[in-house]
Chain A
């Protein structure tokens, strides 16, 4: 574990604060005041500012770190590490399947976790997927949606990016149960959770070019995020969008 001397730590903190402040200033500089999706994104003007702040932070810190990691680590071990963390998250998925009343699926999930933790060598190899054991993507945000909190507006969180209030709450529960964050709390050791975040960011590097070259990167991320969440909430079979309404004012 890395330990800083107090003085060093303080100067590091103050320079970090200066960087953040500068980023916030640029974030507030200029953004169009139009509402592109008043129904799902009524907080757009705040969200755009926070998005700009996050993008600046990403440019300055997260992406360079993820890129270095991506450069050093060959693809196969990278996938292995992603698999490892994904497998660690699976008990939380199991819990959410139970909370959603999907008992049969929760048994399948247990099987997947056991297979990958043993034959898959602690989860580094996703043997279960090769064996066609289904992968369920469930979290507390989705569980609350299944319980009735269907619509939650778009909210860009500082540092973490795209969210909704429902999913912020869900992520809070998740952080409580997710083994690496539990480990970080109990042992005051943040190495596993930081590695998890770096590998997560690295796995998203492929989208960077697309986002950057988009006409409106903010809207691209928002639209993709909200559609993806809807897709997961309905387990791959969301209601068909109201295409007719898109032509209404045509």
Chain B
């Protein structure tokens, strides 16, 4: 059963054909993905609690296609990304996005779809290239956590590249944590450390 579940979920949720341009607007993209994840979570909570890896798979399948992991990784690297080969960049961005998705997923386990996720109306500076989707996750004890996603327009449609929780951006915060290490130790070492779980990516 445990091994079957991820496969079943994959078919159930489907996957968009590669190369197609996603014409949905960013707010719809994020709302649909989160709603879908929470629905699956609601119906399989017991299994997911026992085996968090299953939920991570669901989150990965639903979130990864929405994220421009390479762009995100380049922002985190900044100047330290100079002279890095494409293979190195891809390996680094894979490792980074994997850890982030796992963290996101592990925090999600306590949430359910009746816990409202509210998408706020667009405000501020939004261009046809860059926009921000502001969401609020309501807490049962009252109040909410603001979670914002930064999107940019790519050839495949709108893709997210940054998450901001309570005003603290992942890209901006980890830039100063990771790029000095890459400059000092080289990207291969840092990538290996991220995969081995030796790099703290906590906020």
| Chain A residues engaging chain B, CB cutoff 8 angstroms | 36-37, 79, 126, 128-132, 135, 209-210, 213-216, 219-220, 223-224, 227-228, 230-232, 236-241, 243, 246-247, 249-250
Q: Which residue of A lies closest to B173 (CB)?
A: A223
Minimum CB–CB distance from A203 to chain B (whole Å) comes to 14
B45 interface hit (Cβ, 8 Å): no
A224 contacts across to B, CB distance below 8 A: 168, 173, 203
* Interchain CA distance A247-B130 in the complex, whole Å: 15
* Interchain CA distance A243-B175 in the complex, whole Å: 12
Q: Which residue of B lies closest to A132 (CB)?
A: B142
Task: Show 20 residue pairs from A and B whose CB-CB distance is below 8 angstroms, ordered by the A residue.
Answer: A36-B176, A36-B180, A128-B142, A215-B178, A215-B181, A215-B199, A220-B173, A223-B172, A223-B176, A224-B168, A228-B166, A230-B167, A231-B167, A241-B171, A246-B175, A247-B74, A247-B78, A249-B78, A249-B82, A250-B79
Inter-chain contact B200/A213, CB cutoff 8 Å: yes
Q: Which residue of A lies closest to B140 (CB)?
A: A130
Minimum CB–CB distance from A206 to chain B (whole Å) comes to 10
B203 contacts across to A, CB distance below 8 A: 210, 224
Inter-chain contact A126/B142, CB cutoff 8 Å: yes
Taking CB atoms and an 8 Å cut-off, the chain B residues in 126-147 that contact chain A are 130, 132, 134, 141-143, 146
* Interchain CA distance A133-B160 in the complex, whole Å: 31
How many residues on B have C-beta within 8 angstroms of the other chain's C-beta atoms? 38
Minimum CB–CB distance from A218 to chain B (whole Å) comes to 9
Inter-chain contact B74/A129, CB cutoff 8 Å: no
* Interchain CA distance A241-B130 in the complex, whole Å: 11
| Chain B residues engaging chain A, CB cutoff 8 angstroms | 74-75, 77-79, 81-82, 123-125, 130, 132, 134, 141-143, 146, 150, 152, 161-162, 166-169, 171-173, 175-178, 180-181, 199-200, 202-203
Q: Which residue of A lies closest to B84 (CB)?
A: A250
Interface of B is mostly: mixed
A129 contacts across to B, CB distance below 8 A: 141-143
Inter-chain contact B75/A246, CB cutoff 8 Å: yes
Minimum CB–CB distance from A164 to chain B (whole Å) comes to 15
Inter-chain contact B177/A240, CB cutoff 8 Å: no
* Interchain CA distance A240-B172 in the complex, whole Å: 12
Which of B79, B134, B152 contacts A249, CB < 8 Å?
B79
Q: Which residue of A lies closest to B177 (CB)?
A: A215
* Interchain CA distance A210-B165 in the complex, whole Å: 15
Minimum CB–CB distance from B152 to chain A (whole Å) comes to 8
B200 contacts across to A, CB distance below 8 A: 210, 213-215
Q: Which residue of A lies closest to B167 (CB)?
A: A231
B77 contacts across to A, CB distance below 8 A: 250
Chain A CB count within 10 A is highest, among B134, B161, B175, for B175
B146 contacts across to A, CB distance below 8 A: 236
Inter-chain contact B168/A227, CB cutoff 8 Å: yes
Whether A215 touches B180, Cβ cut-off 8 Å, given contacts A227-B172, A240-B130, is: yes
B181 contacts across to A, CB distance below 8 A: 215
* Interchain CA distance A246-B172 in the complex, whole Å: 9
Inter-chain contact B180/A231, CB cutoff 8 Å: no
> Besides the contacts A227-B169, A236-B146, A239-B124, what 18 more A-B pairs have beta carbons closer than 8 Å?
A37-B176, A131-B142, A210-B202, A210-B203, A215-B180, A224-B173, A227-B168, A228-B166, A228-B168, A231-B166, A231-B167, A237-B124, A240-B125, A240-B130, A240-B132, A243-B161, A247-B74, A250-B81
Minimum CB–CB distance from A78 to chain B (whole Å) comes to 13
A216 contacts across to B, CB distance below 8 A: 176-177, 180
Which of B78, B142, B166, B173 contacts A246, CB < 8 Å?
B78
B152 contacts across to A, CB distance below 8 A: 243
* Interchain CA distance A36-B178 in the complex, whole Å: 12
Minimum CB–CB distance from B130 to chain A (whole Å) comes to 6
Inter-chain contact A219/B177, CB cutoff 8 Å: yes
Q: Which residue of A lies closest to B123 (CB)?
A: A237
